[in-house]
Amino acid sequence: MAYLVEPTYTHGTPEKTAVLLVNLGTPDAPTAAALRPYLKQFLSDPRVVEIPKPIWWMILNGIILNVRPKKSALKYASVWMPEGSPLKVHTERQTALLSKQLSEIVPDAPLVVDYAMRYGNPSIPDVLAKLKAQNCQRILLVPMYPQYAASTVATACDEVFAQLQKMRNAPALRTIRHYHDDAAYIAATAQNVRDHWTLHGRPDMLLMSFHGLPRYTLEKGDPYHCECHKTGRLIAEALGLSRDEYRITFQSRFGKAEWLQPYTTATLKELGKANTRRVDVICPGFLADCLETLEEIAQEGKEDFQHAGGGEFHYIPCLNERPDWISALTKLTLDNLQGWLASPDAVALEQGRLRAIELGAQR
Ligand SMILES: C=CC1=C(C)c2cc3[nH]c(cc4nc(cc5[nH]c(cc1n2)c(C)c5CCC(=O)O)C(CCC(=O)O)=C4C)c(C)c3C=C
Ligand SMILES: [Fe+2]
Ligand SMILES: [Fe+2]
């Protein structure tokens, strides 16, 4: 009698460990037609919009999905790269660079490095199927958000868990919750700012703008607001800034409810009205440039500031492919792989961690 086996049964192929980067996601093209399914998936997630379903369903399908795709498509078109959406292009490059650095540090480790998007493509179900087909029996999920929010990190974990629930022979899973105060992430962010100042001199004000969340998330216990403030304080300390030389603000308000304050837009207008000579803006909660940084901050933010009477406006890009950030990501990954690679690799792993610290410091 033949035994029934799962189609992905991989007896004989070596067991592998996967490092899976997960980012938010982006439309496939800067068009209303591509924006619609992306926004529908994104905004139907109850972790993102916490309004009771029947009411929200009417607003989403009746108004938002008829108006927003066209408006957002124009914005996406203004930042689209020849290779595609900036968020996807940078996430793909970060994945390749992390894979390269890991293979240099632990050359014999059976590691697979890949990325998936929570909304849109490449989707979490598709990438997990790919990892299963390669016999990845352990998965380290690395959310590409340093600060934890239920609407970003938790929903990425939810989706991975939901897929594993459908598998009989499911892989082991580890998740990273946050790294908002990770020394190497803070050091790379501060160095990014210092590099900009070496070339262009210093501003009167450094604005650290984080993606916003509805205010009720803070009241309900989401640690996001506090984590953003801790990140901001650590960056300011690394740069030796006094309290009046920087501000922490929240951007990208969506809908009518109150969001975390102070708002980035209002602050830029206020600084402009005060005739601030120069403001520099960084977005430390975004590891890759995307619509929210390139359009909302670098374009709209600049206009808000200068229109109100402000002087020079400098947007400092995200960490993207910076070598010190790739080393920080490598170290974070290796730290969280402890105990998962076979014993001879454990020694290499420790050497690798030290090498990643060294590489980060050299660059
Ligand atoms: C970095 C962390 C992010 C949090 C927290 C977050 C919460 C959040 N976002 C929306 C609504 C929208 N966000 C959109 C784009 C977008 N958001 C993030 C990150 C966080 N969002 C990124 C990286 C991006 C850019 C994606 C890209 O393709 O470049 C959008 C889509 C664009 C638009 O139409 O404006 C929406 C909508 C909510 C409601 C929310 C928390 C409740
Ligand atoms: Fe967002
Ligand atoms: Fe936005």
pLDDT tens column, 154-167: 999 999 999 999 99
16-27+85-178+324-362 is classed CATH 3.40.50.1400: yes
Q: What is the pLDDT of residues 253-296, one digit of tens each?
A: 999 999 999 999 999 999 999 999 999 999 999 999 999 999 99
pLDDT at 5: 47
Interface confidence (ipTM) of the complex: 0.95
Q: How confident is the model at residue 241 (pLDDT cuts 50, 70, 90)?
A: very high
| Domain boundaries, given as residue ranges, for the chain | 16-27+85-178+324-362, 183-315
Q: What is the CA radius of gyration of the chain?
A: 21
Fold of 183-315: Rossmann fold (3.40.50)
Cβ burial, residue 141 (10 Å; 0-12/13-18/19+)? buried
pLDDT tens readout for residues 52-108: 999 999 999 999 999 999 999 999 999 999 999 999 999 999 999 999 999 999 998
Length of the chain in terms of residues written: 363
For residue 252, how far is its CA from the centre of ligand 2 (angstroms)?
A: 7
Whether pLDDT at 345 is above 90: no
pLDDT for 357: 76
Ligand 1, from 44, 222, 254, 287: best to mutate by most atoms within 8 Å of Cβ?
254
Atom 33 (ligand 1): residue with closest C-alpha? 72
H-helix or E-strand containing 118?
strand 111-120
pLDDT tens digits, one per residue of 301-322? 999 999 999 999 999 999 999 9
Q: Give first-to-last CA distance, the chain, whole Å.
A: 61
Indicate whether residue 209 lines ligand 1 (CB < 6 A): no
Which residue reads 């005060």 in tokens?
274
Report the pLDDT value the prediction gives residue 343, as an integer from 0 to 100: 52
User: Is the distance from the beta carbon of residue 23 to the nearest atom of ligand 1 less than 6 Å?
Assistant: no
- Binning pLDDT at 50, 70 and 90, where does residue 184 land? very high
> Residue range 135-154: average pLDDT?
98
How far, in Å, CA of 271 to CA of 278, rounded? 9
Spatial distance between the Cα atoms of 285 and 140, rounded to a whole number of angstroms? 21
Which residues, 6+ apart, have CB-to-CB distance to 105 below 8 Å? 330, 334, 348, 351, 352, 355, 356
pTM of the shown model: 0.94
Nearest CA to ligand 1 atom 21: 211
Interhelix angle 323-336/183-200, nearest 10 degrees: 180
Q: Is the distance from the beta carbon of residue 90 to the nearest atom of ligand 1 less than 6 Å? A: no
